Amino acid sequence: MPSLRAESIKRVVVRGTNWVGDSLMTVPALRALRRVLPDAHITLVTRPGTEGIFSETEFIDDLLIYDRKGAFSVVRQIREWKQRKFDLALLFQNAFEAALIPFLSGVPIRLGYANEARQTLLTHPLPMPDWRSSRHEVFYYLFLITALEQLLYESSSICEQEPDASIEVSEPRRTDAIELLRAHGIAEDESVVAICPGSINSRAKRWPAEAYAGLADRLIDSRQRVLLIGSQDETDVSNEVVNRMRNRPTVLTGKTNLDQITAVLATADLIVTNDTGPAHIGAALGRPTIVIFGPTNPLTTRPFSPTAEILRHPPDCAPCMLRDCPIDHRCMTAISVEEVFERSHALLKRASFARTVRSVCDSVA
């Protein structure tokens, strides 16, 4: 097992997670890594589409996009890692292949969890924590950095600090988002509610389309501008919501990349979403966010932010973690349009008051 000395670690590669929500749950760990190795060059390996989350963060030096299309994608990654001569590989991703690439690339120090039969590929394998199912995923990733700090300095202060899962959007990106909304007929001074009715990796996580349609109609009736957002793969569910509505929302589903929608969410007054990527983005941006939970477990995967509120009425079968409900989807149908609208209305009143205060302060200044 190679000895670890902070001064000898100049180039660090972090194998990031695959999904948007998971990627945002690694932010506190990445921030902690920067504190542990302040002078190292840190490269984050991430999948196409998720780079918009990290493009302006202060704790990452550069991004390496790993597009897994084609039979030779792993070979291309190995070649790229060899050329970059990394000293340390940290693996947030749990797959066997995530450990195989740094092993074959000759990265001398390889730290990650010893699952998926990959223990022999790691120089510093860590046992899976027995508390994983009872604590937030943020701490699962932070534990890797805690272990690294202990190996380097024989002590760790990471657990003494409150995890920071926030991200920011620069003023130029905000301006671009405002221009994008203006191109769709939404003025900068209008109140905007972004709704994400889809979920790529689980149909069971979706609040019914007719419920979202009812909510969107009530919001528009109360003089809110409603955006429907999501990826290209969620176009069908957004179309279903539109077809069930009396009013016409602004549909951005499938028309923006992650970088753009992150900036749009930074300008929104409220976000209403299932347990999916935009829930974590909105919360990380500090925007008021309502997350409708059903089959998943908010204890471990809720957005890690005080601005996110969870709506949930779990039956005995929840959390089942299934991608499709085999019975009647009772965990989601138990949540009424009225309940979501009332919480939305309360948060929007708070946002309106905050906007008024900012306007007064700006005029005085």
| pLDDT band (50, 70, 90) for residue 70 | confident
Percent of the chain with pLDDT over 70: 96
Which CA distances in Å does 83 have to 4, 87, 107?
22, 12, 11
**What are 164-221's pLDDT values in tens digits?**
999 999 999 999 999 999 999 999 999 999 999 999 889 999 999 999 999 999 999 9
Instruction: Classify burial at 166, counting beta carbons within 10 Å of its beta carbon; exposed 0-12, middle 13-18, buried 19 or more.
Output: middle
**Would you state the structure tokens that stand for residue 234, as one six-digit string?**
């969620």
Percent of the chain with pLDDT over 90: 85
CA distance 184 to 211: 24
Q: Give the residue-averaged pLDDT of 87-102.
A: 96
Nearest alpha carbon to residue 46 among 22, 28, 78, 70:
22
> ∠ at Cα 282 (277, 286), nearest 5°?
145
Nearest alpha carbon to residue 15 among 129, 101, 79, 76:
101
Give the pLDDT of residue 3: 67
| pLDDT band (50, 70, 90) for residue 363 | low
Using CA of residue 11, residue 16, residue 20, residue 22, what is the dihedral sign? Answer: negative
**Would you state the structure tokens that stand for residue 81, as one six-digit string?**
């890692």
What is the 8-class DSSP label of residue 304?
A: S
Kindly tell me if the per-residue pLDDT of 2 is higher than 80.
no
CA distance 54 to 204: 29
CA distance 70 to 208: 36
| pLDDT band (50, 70, 90) for residue 350 | confident
Residue type, 208: P
pTM over 0.85: yes
What is the 8-class DSSP label of residue 293?
A: -
**What are 134-157's pLDDT values in tens digits?**
999 999 999 999 999 999 999 888
Q: Note whether 42 and 119 are within 8 A (CB).
A: no
| pLDDT band (50, 70, 90) for residue 298 | very high
Give the pLDDT of residue 357: 59
**What are 24-51's pLDDT values in tens digits?**
999 999 999 999 999 999 999 998 878 8
Kindly tell me if the per-residue pLDDT of 115 is higher than 80.
yes
Q: Give the residue-averaged pLDDT of 238-249.
A: 98
Q: Note whether 71 and 78 are within 8 A (CB).
A: no
Kindly tell me if the per-residue pLDDT of 361 is higher than 80.
no
Nearest alpha carbon to residue 45 among 1, 2, 107, 3:
107
Give the pLDDT of residue 163: 94
Give the pLDDT of residue 354: 66
Q: Note whether 194 and 229 are within 8 A (CB).
A: yes
Q: Over the chain, what is the mean pLDDT?
A: 93
Q: Give the residue-averaged pLDDT of 234-239.
A: 97
DSSP string across 214-266: HHHHHHHHTT-EEEE---GGGHHHHHHHHHT-SS--EE-TTSS-HHHHHHHHH
**What are 251-278's pLDDT values in tens digits?**
999 999 999 999 999 999 999 999 999 9
Rg (Cα) of the chain, in Å, rounded?
Answer: 22
| pLDDT band (50, 70, 90) for residue 113 | very high
| pLDDT band (50, 70, 90) for residue 68 | confident
